Each structure stands twice: as C-alpha cells, then as structure tokens.
C-alpha cells in the first residue's frame, strides 16, 4: 500500500476538483492510502467525498492572502501552494507519491523529499490569465517561466484531452515531453446509488408535467459563455410555436463562491440579461447545487447545453451521457473528443441561432432525444468509464513507483 497525497489549491466544486476527487477514489479502491492537502476547503462548498470522511482533508496556509488589493491572484496562489508543499515535506509520515494539479510551482519543493511527483495539467495556467497592460505582461513573465520550468520537473505528467496535449506542447516549447492523455471520468457508483429528488423540491417550484427542460451546468464565470444559453432561449422564443415555447424552460445551475468577485458579478449579469431579453419567466438560476441535486437535475432534464468555447475537456457532457441525455456543445476543445455529432448530440459553431436550431430538431423529433441519449451512454461506457479511468491511472502510478524502485 502506497501513501499518496493529493495537493490541490482550492478544494471546491469545479471540474478540476471533481477530477482529483475521482482520481483519489480510484487509487483508494486500488488499495492505496489516500488523502488531500489543500489551502482552502469549505464544507458548504465541496464534494461530498471530501467532507463525509471518505477522503481525509487537511487544510494548510488558508491564512495566507488569496490576493493583494484585488490583484496578484496567481502570485498568491503560488505562495500558498509552496507553503502547502513545504508542509508535506516536513510531515513525519511523508507520502511516497504526491499528485498535484493546477499550480506547478510546488513541484521543485516536493522533489526535495518526495520520491514520485505526478502533475495533472488541466490547461496551462498562463493561457487562463486575462490579458492586461504592460505592467500585467511584465508581472506574468516570471510566473509563466516558472510554470513551464516547474511543470517539466514532475516525474509524470497527465493531460485531460488530446486538445490540451496539443496546447501543452505549443505553450511549453522548452519541454521535450509527451504528456499522457488521461480522460476524466465520473464516480458512476455515486450516480447509480443516488436517490433522485423530485424536480419540484430541487427547484422549490413546480413546473408543468409536459415541460421540456434545457439544462446548463457550469461555474458562474464569463469564460463559460453562459450568456449563450440565455440568448439561445430568446431565439427559441421567436422561432418555436407558442405551444412549444410554453413548455420550454432553461435551468442554469453552476458553482458559485461568494468569495469570488466574478461569480457574484456574472450571476447578476445573467439575471439582467434574461430580463433584458424578456425570458425571465423561463430561466431558473441555481447556485452551487449539491451533488445529489445535480444528479437529479441531469435525470430530469431533456437536453444538456454546454456553451464554453475551447473547454479543456468538460466533465458535464460525460455526466449527461452516462445518464442518457443528448448533449449540444460548442464544436471546439474537449467536447470534440467526447460528443459525436449527430450520434450522441450535436456540435455547433457557437451562435445562439445554431444552438437553437439543434434544440428545435430535438423538440420536433422527440425520438432523437432517446436515440442520442442511448448512444451517449454507450459511448461513455466504452471510452470514458470510471473503470477505464481507474485502470489507466493505477497502472501509471504502479509503473512509476516500480520503475523508480528498479
């Protein structure tokens, strides 16, 4: 049994957090001693497995600032992760392997005492930084350099898609590394065992029994392009028959952290947009629904719409496919590898008109909803199952440990 620590900066409820939690569960099921070290963990804003004792969580460095006067978020994140890494190397019972992600600057600290360091690259951090002026560019130069050099110091690097691997190679030109693609999966055991909650209880309101429910699940961040879902609904209002539109509802569910200014601002922006487009009565906003509520929403919806452009991978389409729902997603990034156009749903180029036209097809041909949903579940089981994810991860970890011993 190998002692493994997952080092993650903020153990919330995003896609990156879902990935590392599932990776921890996979390795735990394979007999390893697994735990988390993080710089922030809110029991009211986290995945169930991290607060019910399934995976022990230790919080260190939460007292360090997340920003300085609303600036320097990346620098503060680097400092917090270096502190957490230092905590790990001074543990009396040090782990044999550390699995870290998002922030690579902790890797050289870990390598001082940790035999094996694995890094999971969801996407190069420097590409997620919002461009600014000359001062911002100068500030990012050393951070970008550190990200590239320290990423290359990991003993093993995973990426979440072929798309991200190509971005990795084009961004980190100094690194002669071929990362291994480890597609994320979902904890299907949880989905199978979850008792589905009545939609009326989830929404705290009752919808008509013949409702057609469009569902969007994403964090309240501008890069997730959530406004496109509302604009699509507004387009449908003018292109469907009155009777068809009367049955249509859009549920916007997503991660919301009141500490994050963008979450608060964008949530209000979306409410304002729905009012501006006169679809307020058809849009239902949910902030940080529980895991059980999220599974219930997926079960009750008719169609999942996934709006981000160039998403690194996208875990929500997998969840919808497993439950047997058709997915309409932007034809870019990771969804191009998970969604098969006209088989498990549709891939569209991004305008509200294009999204709306595909939704119209599914509304007018309900049999396609079932056909696409069934094909999506079959694709999930064949390519993205938790068993496949667990087997690949466990094999890579075992090979790394055994190779180092040899």
Same domain, 151 and 209: no
Where in the sequence is the domain holding 321, given as residue range(s)?
190-384
**Same domain, yes or no: 295 and 280:** yes
Q: What is the pLDDT of residue 217?
A: 97
Residues in Cβ contact with 129 at an 8 Å cutoff, skipping those fewer than 6 apart:
74, 140
Indicate if 41 and 139 belong to the same structural domain: yes
Q: Do 379 and 255 belong together in one domain?
A: yes
Q: Does 130 have pLDDT greater than 90?
A: no
Q: In this structure, are 80 and 132 located in the same domain?
A: yes
pLDDT digits (tens, 9 = 90+) for 21-70: 999 999 999 999 999 999 999 998 899 899 999 999 999 999 999 999 98
Whether residues 114 and 195 share a domain: the answer is no
pLDDT surpassing 70 at residue 276: yes
**Residue 285: band (very low, low, confident or very high) from pLDDT cuts 50, 70, 90:** very high
pLDDT for the residue 195 = 94
Q: How far apart are CA 339 and CA 153, in angstroms?
A: 34
In CATH, what number is assigned to the domain containing residue 149?
3.40.50.2000
Statement to judge: residues 341 and 226 lie in one domain: yes
Of 167, 115, 170, 125, the closest CA to residue 147 belongs to 125
Model pLDDT for residues 159-187, shown as the tens digit of each residue: 999 999 999 999 999 999 999 999 999 88
- CA 133 from centroid of its chain's CA atoms: 29
Say if residue 12 is in the same domain as residue 32. Answer: yes
Q: What is the pLDDT of residues 184-236, one digit of tens each?
A: 998 898 899 999 999 999 999 999 999 999 999 999 999 999 999 999 999 99
Spatial distance between the Cα atoms of 289 and 297, rounded to a whole number of angstroms = 9
pLDDT of residue 245: 96
Regarding whether 201 and 129 lie in a shared domain, the answer is no
Residue 322 has pLDDT above 90, yes or no: yes
Q: Do 74 and 211 fall within a single domain?
A: no
The number of distinct structural domains making up the chain is: 2
332-363 pLDDT, tens digit each: 999 999 999 999 999 999 899 999 999 999 99
219 and 106 in a single domain? The answer is: no
- 142 and 40: one domain? yes
Q: How does the average pLDDT of the chain come out, rounded?
A: 94
Confidence grade of residue 405 (pLDDT, cut at 50, 70, 90): low
Residue 68's beta-bridge partner residues? 71
**Predicted confidence band at 385 (pLDDT cuts at 50, 70, 90)?**
very high
How confident is residue 404, by pLDDT bands cut at 50, 70 and 90?
Answer: low
* Residue 60 CB neighbours (<10 A): 18
């Amino acid at each position: 049994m190998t002692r493994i620590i997952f080092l993650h900066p903020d153990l919330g409820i995003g896609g990156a957090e879902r990935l590392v939690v599932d990776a921890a569960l996979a390795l735990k099921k394979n007999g390893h001693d697994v735990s988390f070290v993080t710089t922030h963990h809110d029991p009211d804003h986290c995945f169930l497995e991290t607060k019910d004792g399934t995976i022990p969580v230790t919080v260190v460095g939460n007292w360090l600032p997340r920003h300085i006067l609303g600036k320097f978020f990346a620098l503060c994140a680097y400092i917090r992760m270096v502190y957490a890494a230092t905590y790990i190397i001074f543990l009396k019972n040090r782990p044999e392997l550390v699995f870290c992600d998002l922030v690579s600057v902790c890797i050289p600290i870990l390598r001082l005492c940790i035999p094996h360091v694995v890094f999971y690259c969801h996407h190069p951090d420097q590409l997620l930084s919002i461009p600014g002026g000359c001062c911002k560019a100068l500030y990012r130069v050393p951070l970008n350099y550190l990200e590239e050099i320290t990423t290359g110091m990991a003993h093993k690097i995973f990426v979440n898609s072929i798309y991200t691997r190509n971005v990795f190679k084009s961004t980190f030109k100094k690194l002669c590394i071929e990362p291994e693609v480890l597609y994320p999966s979902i904890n299907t055991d949880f989905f199978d065992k979850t008792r589905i909650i009545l939609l009326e209880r989830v929404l705290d309101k009752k919808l008509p029994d013949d409702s057609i429910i469009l569902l969007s699940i994403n964090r309240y961040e501008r890069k997730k392009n959530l406004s496109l879902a509302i604009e699509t609904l507004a387009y449908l209002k003018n292109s469907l028959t009155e009777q068809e539109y009367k049955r249509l509802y859009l549920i916007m569910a997503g991660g919301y952290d009141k500490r994050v200014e963008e979450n608060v601002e964008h949530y209000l922006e979306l409410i304002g947009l729905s009012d501006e487009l006169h679809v307020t009565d058809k849009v239902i906003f949910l902030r940080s629904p529980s895991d059980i509520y999220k599974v219930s929403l997926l079960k009750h919806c008719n169609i999942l719409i996934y709006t981000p452009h160039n998403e690194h991978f996208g875990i929500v389409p997998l969840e919808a496919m497993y439950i047997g729902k058709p997915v309409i997603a932007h034809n870019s990034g990771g969804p191009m590898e998970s969604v098969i156009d006209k088989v498990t749903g549709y891939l569209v180029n991004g305008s509200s008109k294009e999204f709306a036209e595909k939704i119209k097809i599914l509304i007018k041909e309900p049999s396609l909803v079932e056909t696409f949903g069934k094909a999506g579940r079959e694709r999930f089981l064949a390519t993205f199952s938790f068993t496949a994810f667990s087997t690949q991860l466990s094999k890579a970890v075992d090979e790394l440990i055994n190779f180092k011993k040899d």
